[in-house]
Amino acid sequence: MTPTAAPGGTPDEQPGAGLRIDAERNRDRILAAARRLFATEGLGVSMAAVAREAGVGKATLSRRFATRDELVDAVFADRMDGYAAAVATALADPDPWRGFTGYVHTVCAMQAADRGFADVLTMTFPAAKALEKRRAEAYHGFLELIARAKGTGHLREDFTDRDMPILLMANAGVVNAAGDAAPDAWQRLVAHMLRSYANPAAPLPPMPDAPAPTALYRAMVRLTRPGTDRGSEGH
């Protein structure tokens, strides 16, 4: 006998049999849909929008992911692995200052590549246990990275671990505001911030070019149109 679907959902479980193949497919579709929407629109996307994008009912979504935190945890697990790995790579660099500047640029580039991840790095999700565990691991590695970079004499003594969240908040704002109109604007921000963290004579990567005036204008126009999707400029 075929199981009956809940209203708005799809049949996806058999008592005592674990997840059926169609349930696994539903989960994969939900994750793929959430990744697409979070990457382009940020974490403000509703759970209902994720269900529509995945082609499943809200009841099915709720069975797979009871809360937004659970969905965020699953969607960004690999990206948080990459975030933690970035610290390990920086600590492995024989030049601690180069490791520090490389880490800052890498993390900000991860934000720029995924609007949802830009939000994740500036928010906390207490119920997303795996995600928060990886964040804590990255944080402790970053503390060591700061100490090593200061030991080279290149990182200012008044730099603290709290300056990184400030940078990430600022970078998320630039990424979200500039969109596809000025997609590389974040690199200019990061370069300026690294210069503010450095002692005189510290070696630094070249300063990227500023965005073209027309690109910044399109970004500012974009900000006057709430709800305008990234990539829609000029259409």
The domain boundary, picked from 39, 59, 75, lies at 75
C-alpha 99/C-alpha 93 separation (Å) is 5
Q: Domain tally for the chain?
A: 2
pTM of the predicted structure, to 2 decimals: 0.76
pLDDT tens digits, residue range 102-160?
Answer: 999 999 999 998 888 888 888 888 888 888 888 888 999 999 999 999 999 999 999 99
Closest CA to 117 of 71, 160, 172, 62: 172
CA atoms within 13 A on the CB side of 233: 20
Residues of the domain holding 66: 17-75
User: Both 108 and 163 in a single domain?
Assistant: yes
1 falls within a domain: no
Same domain, 142 and 48: no
- The structure tokens 């660099």 sit at 93
Amino acid at the residue 171: N
What's 112's domain CATH number? 1.10.357
Indicate whether 28 and 40 sit together in one domain: yes
| One domain, residues 34 and 89 | no
**Cβ atoms 179, 225 nearer than 8 A:** no
Same domain, 120 and 42: no
